Each structure stands twice: as structure tokens, then as C-alpha cells.
Structure 1
Amino acid sequence: MNSIPRRTLLTVPLLGAGAALGAVAAAGPALAAPAPAAPAPTLSGAGLSSAGLPALVGTAGGGRDERLLRRWAKDTWRSLDAMTVRSTGLVSDNIDADLTGHSRHTSPTNIGGYLWSTLLARELRLITPGEARNRISRTLDSLETMEHHEPSGMYYNWYDETDGSVLRSWPGTGDPVVPFVSSVDMGWLGAALHVVAQADPSNRRRAKRLFDAMRWDVFFDRDVDVQPGQTIGGFWVEDPHRDGVELLPLFQDIPGAEVWYHTEHHYDTAVSEARMVTYLGIMTEQIPAAAYFTTFRTFPPQWDWAEMPPVGDWAEHEGVAVFEGAHTYRGLEIVPGWGGSMFEELMPDLFVPEAAWGPDSWGRNHPLHVRAQREHGLEEAGYGYWGFSPSSDPHGQYREYGVDALGLNPEGYFSDAAATDWHQGEPYPQGLDGVVTPHAAALAMQYERAEAIENLSRIETELGAYGPGGFHDAVAVGSGVIARRHLSLDQSMVLGALGNVLLEEQLHRWFGTDEVAARLRPVLEQETFRAHG
């Protein structure tokens, strides 16, 4: 089984800069596997109604589309099932397209993705309620016995899924691994445990006990310029011997609990997968609501080194001065993420009904981000397909992809490696080997349903990026080279999006309890993004 050199902290901006942090494995074999040649691009419709709401599948094709989506869900679950070790209930990080072997590493994100995918498989009648209950119970058995950081209730970044042991050397290379607790990874495991506690009565008490033990304030750094504080990337429980790392007390109320923090590493952009950690901290009342507003919508206009000058105005929310900025792209004004990827924009929205709770913020930005990604793929770059997000690299192992104009990162996430010399304001070079990932298009279904289904259908039938376990992880549309593997994180995003579409926002309903809504909705609904189409 190939190991993927993959960053677990997928978006790691420093304050005002940008850097990568995470575990990196040795490179395995390239994933070169040519697909059928792509046909000429065909453009789809605008995707938004006059009210700015998602375009829905028409009634004439509704039944046909539902059958298609259910087939995709069934095959996606097949890959997740194949990745799961029966004895531990832990899912592998990745698996080859033939659905054999285990990667010998998994993470809290992967485990969380398997938990919510199991619940959705139950609701979609891919497995029986009894099987779902037993699968979840087995996973909780492992979580209850796995070594973890007990003072905070948090789990380490990497485990061997075959026995639940903490990884201290990387599979295949033997490179040393120092146990690290990642805030963003724990966000997805925490979200999944909260969902299990609502959706699985037989396992509710156990899931809730694990969730309640988690201290989200351990990731909240108050010693920063912007107050009341920001989310930090995580901490090591042993000295990693890295620059910029300090031994600091974990909690003031637990004497002697000290860990190694990277004190310059914060998640400081609003459009980031790390906002799930902020949501969990606010809904458990472990961090203040004002923390939601300390992240950048764009960099402030006085920062003259930024890649793109923003448009916008200053506002104040919860006592925090916020520059309500946006980037301009093809006549649109959009609040950017760090790298301009669909994952940053829409993965938290799988659980938190952001567009409904923040109609003037996320309710504007999510549809615009999807539209911008579609227009980039079909019109600006001319690939004929769209959906850009960190994924397997068809020509290598793992890589960050995005739409550069939708990101704050000065170095850019591009939709293709050949575009790294491209600068804002220049025509986007045509004929590149653009890399699309199906999980990005799947996330977009919640806002441009018909367009996303058409795009995914063509990725399957025209590019051939599909197999017994559902969509392959990515495909380079120019050369036709396919990343013939499945990542459990990406497959769980695909199944999460399909579940929300087919089951009338089921993940939203499980996650958004009355108590959660009472604490989060007033925060999201008070802001107006500078986002216009």
C-alpha cells in the first residue's frame, strides 16, 4: 500500500504570512494512469436563481439524478468499508483503487469521517441499523483505549489503524514521528462524536463522554495582538526540536500540564476548515464568541504586500474590529480563504448550516465561491471541468490545489502546477493540465446541484476517474492522468455532501441541535460579508 506524503494541517497560515506544518512521508510510486482523452469543454448554466439560492435539479430529471447520486453513495461507501479494519473499527488514511491493503496510518479526521459516513450509510439503507450500531461501537471501543493526551481529551495526529497504536515512525520509511495534537484534525473528530451523540441512541452516552472530555480552549491562544485570541495549530507532547516551539502550560487550572506549542502558528483566516474548532469552542462555551471575528476576511488594506488589494469597510462585532473585505474576481466580490480551495470554503458547512444561520455572510459567499470555481475551470482556464481542492496529485503524491484569486496565500494554490508563474491581472494560460478532485464538486452540490452533478457525471464517464469504490481522488484533465486511489477524508466529504443532498440536510439537522443553534446562530447572523455577484 502506498504512503501519501500528506499534510494533516491542510491550511496553516502564520499571522500575515504562510507556512506548512505537518507530517510528511517518503514519496511512493507515481500515480500515472492515463484516462480517455477529454472531449471539448461544454459549459453549464449559471447555477443561481434570481434569489441567489442554489439551482435545483429539475423535476424531469429528479428521479434519474437521485438514482445516480445513490449509486455514487453506494460505491463511495464501498471504498470506506474496504478501508476499515474490522477488529479496530478504524479506517485507513487511503487505499488503492483495487480496494486492497491498508495504509498503516490514520488520523482523528479520518476516524471522524468514518463515523459520520457510517451514520449516513445507515440512513441511505446501505447498511442496516444494527450493523451501523456495531460499527460505531467498535470504533468507540478503540477510541476509549487508544493512547491520547488525557488532560485535554485530545488525540494524536497519527495512529496505526490495524491496532490503534500511536505512530512513532512513519510506515515504509521509518522516519520518526513526534506525537502532535492538531486542532483542525480534532475539530472533525469532535464534530463526528457530537453527531453520533445525536444520531445513535445506543452509542450516545459513550460518544458524549468522549466529546465532553475534550477541552477546546487548549487550542485558544489569548496571548496575541488581536483580542480575545485565536486558534493555534496544535501542540506536541514531547519536544519536537523545532524552531519557534516553546514549552508552555496547557491550562492554568492544571499544574504541571505543559506541552510544546508552535507559538507563531495560528489559523487566522475566516474561510478555513479550522473554523470548525472555533464553532466547537463557542458551542461548548469554552472560548468566547468574539473569537469568531478575530480572523481575517481579507488582509487589511494597509498591508501593501498582499497579493490582491481588497475592497471593503471596517465594522465591529462582539467588540472586535473587523475589516469586512473581499477579493474581486470576474466581476464578483468574494471573501477569500487561505488557498482558494473548495475544502476551506465548504467542509464546515457540511455540519453547520452556515448559509441559513449567516444568510448575509456565508449565505452569500458559499454560492459565489462555487460559481467562481466553476467559471475558472470552464471559462478562465478552459479545462472543461471544475472543482479544485487539496487532493492526491495525479503526477505524484499529494498537493494543494485551488483558485489563486480566491486565496490570500501570496504563493498561491493553483489549479495546475504549470500555472505557478501566473500573476493576477494576466490572462490565465490555456491548455494547462488542470487537476480536478471529485470531492470539491460534491461539496458544491449543495449550491449548484445541477451543474455539480453534470460535472461529476462527466468526470466519471468522459475522464474515466471512477471505479468500484466510487470516484478516484483526482484527475489531470489535460493529460488524462488519474490518481487511482481513494482518501478516506475525501470520500467521507463526498458521502457527507451526498447525504445532505439526498437526505434533506441530515448532517445539518444532527449537528444543529437547539442548544448549538442558540449559541452559534446569533454569532453568524450578525455579520454581512462584502460578497456580491
Structure 2
Amino acid sequence: MRSRFRILVPTVLAAVALVATPLAAHAGGGGHPDGDVATLERYAADTWASLVAMTDEATGLPSDNIEGDLSAPSAYTSPTNIGGYLWSTVVARDLGIIDRHEARDRLTTTLSTLASLEKHEPSGMFYNWYSPADGSKLTTWPDSGDVVHPFLSTVDNGWLAAALRVVAKAEPSLKREALALYDAMDFSWFHDLSAREGVSLNRGGFWVDPPGDGCAVPGNYAGSGPDVYYTCHWYDTTVSEARIATYIGIANGQIPATAYYGTYRTMPDQGCDFGWQEQKPVGETREYLGVSVFEGTYEYAGMRLVPSWGGSMFEALMPDLFVPEAEWGPRSWGLNHPATVEAQRWHGMEEAGYGYWGFSPASDPFASYREYGVEHLGISSDGYASDAESTDVDTGYEGCRDATNPDPAFGDGVVTPHAAFLALPYDEDAVLENLAGLENDLGAYGPGGFYDAVAVGSGTIADRYLSLDQSMIMAAIGNALLDDRLKDYFVDKRFERAIRPLVEAQVFGTVLVP
């Protein structure tokens, strides 16, 4: 794992050009075999059924999850869940699963409820947990009665904002209502201009009142209104689902453009100060807009790529559902996204030998919820495992940490179907073959589409559906069959002018082996 590689990006660009071009660019029916189109349409229709079942008809708010027989929806929801339902409704309409009247009615109901929800008024941001039944802000957990300290999450508000952008473009009759909510959301409330020397970053979020336990930092980054209590961590890694909030904040002029370069590709290679990370990185230091960036990469499966924190698919690829990262960044995301997909496939099929692949946080087949990933692809040395046994991979860190488990024997691999769907633009044939096996060989398919996770060794299925994961599946299918239509809805001229030059300028050290 500590082989030395040269940075070969310029020489491999031509070789990977076809790989890095989203297959959805050739879609729209004619770009797929008829059987594949019918299969994806079936997956979408069944997935939509689960979202309908978990959504309250009166409020238009989806529950966080529902049982596999489409009964007993949960009594809580989040801004991300609500956003996912909004963009899924648009996809269901555009795929012909529902008609325009039903879609408009559903969107209208949800937007009306959103307008009535209690928010943090100075920022326009939404709290993290609401009741789907009446839209009330949760202060006790429905299942246990435990106290909930109302929290405002950067990334959750980012995904709701993304959905509002989609609705405003996709349904012109509701543009005013969607933009009224969107325009009120001020992401400067989350952004610490002095996170590190010369670097600004988003905090994880904030509480209006002290949370009572744990770490909280009083402050007010917006400079108006009363102080709030920030999390003690920042979103400081580049390959993270949280970058959606950074994109939106920059496009809105609420946070500086330099924030795009402030996150870490890997932790720096500075003696043993960062010797706790998964492996010793290799890379060059470059400067963007005056920000010095160590473009570090990790080695895996004969490639070099930029890791995420935990090594999961959704950290890497969820923002790519809305932002044309691979197209705009041929020297960064255009390499790293297909490399991530190939690394996940290689882990499941070759290294661990599960016979299936796709690893991301999801329902736990043996409990409630867990974070899954490919640990080699995560910065955290005890990052997300790919199996039920939480097998730890530790290849050590040269000169700082001895290897304790460099070549582990993996156990009961837990595959999460939504992770495979996210890979559709980069290896569609492998994705469809993988999904067919999960459905036909393992039975991981029910009335609402693919169950949320399956332990492929034992065949144990997490027979429930998570709203977030189902909405990622809807988005991925919509993009695959409709020429990246969600990206067209999300990106306007203002957004492209603000974000595209930042992405185009970026050069990762990724080396993809076709």
C-alpha cells in the first residue's frame, strides 16, 4: 500500500476521456438497450411507491424511513428527506410515473408546509427534525422520549436548498414559492472565515440554545441577530456530501469562492502530525486563488485517488447528481468519480470477494443503521467498514504507525443498493449486473424497490426503506434516462458562472487505470 507513484494526470487524461464522460449524456432511450430502459423504469416506479407510502398526504412531508412492507413510517423527518421527496416528485413526473397535475399538487402541498415550519428566522434555515404528521419541530425523540436539542445542519439545509432550486426550474408555476424559501436561506451563518490560517470552512451546524452536553462554540458568523452555538467540527474534507452547501453558498455570494479550495484532499503529509490517517499520502502542492492546497492522494487497486472521510459512495457521488462535476472538472472529478466507482467495484468483487459491490451508510441488516464504506478509500484510519463484522484495515503509516491488519479476511459484506445506483454514469453495465444479482439471487427487492441493505454472505436483508437512499436512487435513474435533467434544473447561468471556473481550475493527483 505504500508503493511510490508519479503524478500521471496529464498522460492519462486522454485514456480516460470516455470513462469520465457520464453515460447519461447518451441516454434518453436511444442510449440504452430497451431492456435496460425497462429495468430502470421498473426500479424507478417501485422506488417511487415507497416514497408515496412514507409521505403524509396532508403535510407532504416524507418520513425518514418505512418498513419493507410499506407499513409503519417513522414519526420524524429532516430537511434532506424533504428535499429528496421534492426532487423525486419531479423525476417521477418526468419519467411518466405520475402526471403533471399530481406532481404539481404534491409539490404545492410540501412547499406550503415548508413555508409554515418553524425555522431559525435570522438565517432562514430549517431545524433538523420535524414531525411528518403536523410539521412541528421535534424536542423529544418519538421512539424513546429522549430530549432533542433542536439543531440546524449545514449539509441537510444544503440538500433542501438544492431541491428548491430544482423545483423552481422544473415547475414554473411554483417558482415564486420555491424561491421565497430558497432566497431566505443564508449559508453565511454556517461559514467560519477564520477556520484555519488563510482558510474558511463550513461548520457542521449550530444550536440556537446550548445543547447541554458535548462541545459547542458560541458565535455569530453572519454578524446579525443573537449568537448561536456551533459544532466544534468543520466540514474540512473535499470528497464529502457536504460540498453541496459550499457550492450553493458560493453561488449565492454568501461565502467566498476561496472556500472551495479550503478543504483537505487528504490530510497533509507533515511528519507524524497526521500519521493517524489511513495511509501516507502522495501529492503536489498547488495554489488556487491564493489558497495553498496539498493535492494528496491514496493508492488503491493500482490507482491513485482522493479519498473521502469514511470511504462511502454517497460522500463521493451524491453532489454529482446535481452539479456536473465530471464535465466541469476533467482534471479532478472527471478522474476521481470513475476511480471511486472502480475502487468500490474492485473491493467487492476482487479484494473482499463478496460477489457484489456498493458501500454507503444505510440500514443495518442486523440492527438499525450503520455507516458502510471501503476503508481503504477513507481518511479515517478506523473509517467505515464494508462488512457486518466491522473488519478494520490498518496498513500503517510509514515512520509513524505500524500496520496491525494490512491484509484482513473480510466477513459478511453489507451492500447498499443506492450506492450502486450512484455509479450509473461511470459503469452502467456493471451497475445493472450488480443490481440484477441483488434482486434475483439474493431477493433484496420488495414492493418499494431495493431494500436498503443486504448482508450478501448470510443473505440477511435490512427490509426497510430510507427516504434519503430512495431519493438518491430516483435522482440517479432520472439522470440516466433523461440526459442529466436534474443537473439542468439545478444549474442556472449564475451558478455556472460562479462555480464552473473553480471546478475547472482544480487538478487532483488522481490516476485512473482503465
1:101 positional shift: 2.2
- Tell me the secondary structure at the aligned position of residue 312 of structure 1: strand
Partner of 1:284: 252
Deviation readout 1:281-304 (Å, 9 max, x if unpaired)? 111011111001010001111152
Q: 1:224 to 1:422 in 2, by over 3 A?
A: closer
Q: How does 1:261-410 map to 2 (within 5 A)?
A: 261-262=230-231, 264-304=232-272, 305=275, 306-410=277-381
Of 116, 119, 123, which aligns to 2:87? 116
User: Normalized against structure 2, the TM-score is what?
Assistant: 0.91
Partner of 2:478: 499
Tell me how far apart the structure 2 counterparts of residues 258 and 60 of structure 1 sit (CA, whole Å). 53
Of 457, 466, 479, which aligns to 2:436? 457
2:238 aligned partner, one-letter code: A
Q: How does 1:198-213 map to 2 (within 5 A)?
A: 198-213=169-184
Contact 1:328 1:334 (C-alpha < 8 Å) held by counterparts? yes
Tell me how far apart the structure 1 counterparts of residues 127 and 310 of structure 2 sit (CA, whole Å). 25
Partner of 2:418: 439
Contact 1:500 1:507 (C-alpha < 8 Å) held by counterparts? yes
1:49 positional shift: 6.4
* 2:38 corresponds to 1:70: no
Worse-matched range after superposition: 95-104 or 179-188: 95-104
Worse-matched range after superposition: 238-247 or 192-201: 238-247
Q: 1:115 to 1:60 in 2, by over 3 A?
A: closer
Contact 2:392 2:408 (C-alpha < 8 Å) held by counterparts? no
Q: Which residues of structure 1 form unaligned runs of 5+? A: 1-47
Deviation readout 1:412-455 (Å, 9 max, x if unpaired)? 21101425343227564446100000000000011111111110
Q: 1:138 to 1:225 in 2, by over 3 A?
A: same
- Tell me the secondary structure at the aligned position of residue 85 of structure 1: coil
Q: 1:66 to 1:244 in 2, by over 3 A?
A: same
Worse-matched range after superposition: 52-61 or 475-484: 52-61
Worse-matched range after superposition: 414-423 or 140-149: 414-423
Tell me how far apart the structure 1 counterparts of residues 271 and 421 of structure 2 sit (CA, whole Å). 35
Q: 1:219 to 1:465 in 2, by over 3 A?
A: same
Contact 2:20 2:330 (C-alpha < 8 Å) held by counterparts? no
Q: Which residues of structure 2 form unaligned runs of 5+? A: 1-14, 396-402
Partner of 1:192: 163
Worse-matched range after superposition: 405-414 or 205-214: 405-414
Partner of 1:99: 70
Tell me how far apart the structure 2 counterparts of residues 228 and 416 of structure 1 sit (CA, whole Å). 36
Q: 1:521 to 1:279 in 2, by over 3 A?
A: same
1:329 positional shift: 0.5
Tell me how far apart the structure 1 counterparts of residues 128 and 261 of structure 2 sit (CA, whole Å). 27
Partner of 2:229: 260
Tell me how far apart the structure 1 counterparts of residues 356 and 388 of structure 2 sit (CA, whole Å). 16
- Tell me the secondary structure at the aligned position of residue 84 of structure 1: coil
Q: 1:419 to 1:135 in 2, by over 3 A?
A: closer
Q: 1:70 to 1:178 in 2, by over 3 A?
A: same
Partner of 2:455: 476
2:263 aligned partner, one-letter code: T
2:286 aligned partner, one-letter code: A
Worse-matched range after superposition: 508-517 or 57-66: 57-66
Tell me how far apart the structure 1 counterparts of residues 31 and 422 of structure 2 sit (CA, whole Å). 23
Q: 1:61 to 1:361 in 2, by over 3 A?
A: closer
The aligned length equals: 483
1:251 positional shift: 2.5
* 2:490 corresponds to 1:511: yes
Q: State, as a whole percentage, how many aligned pairs show the same letter.
A: 53
Contact 1:327 1:333 (C-alpha < 8 Å) held by counterparts? yes
Partner of 2:504: 525
Contact 1:250 1:259 (C-alpha < 8 Å) held by counterparts? no
Contact 1:146 1:164 (C-alpha < 8 Å) held by counterparts? yes
Tell me how far apart the structure 1 counterparts of residues 114 and 81 of structure 2 sit (CA, whole Å). 13
Contact 1:419 1:429 (C-alpha < 8 Å) held by counterparts? no
Partner of 2:53: 82
* 2:445 corresponds to 1:466: yes
Tell me how far apart the structure 2 counterparts of residues 395 and 379 of structure 1 sit (CA, whole Å). 25
Name the Cα RMSD after superposition.
Answer: 1.7
Deviation readout 1:463-514 (Å, 9 max, x if unpaired)? 1000110000000001110000000000000010000001110111111112
Contact 1:431 1:478 (C-alpha < 8 Å) held by counterparts? no
Contact 1:251 1:257 (C-alpha < 8 Å) held by counterparts? no
Q: 1:183 to 1:55 in 2, by over 3 A?
A: closer
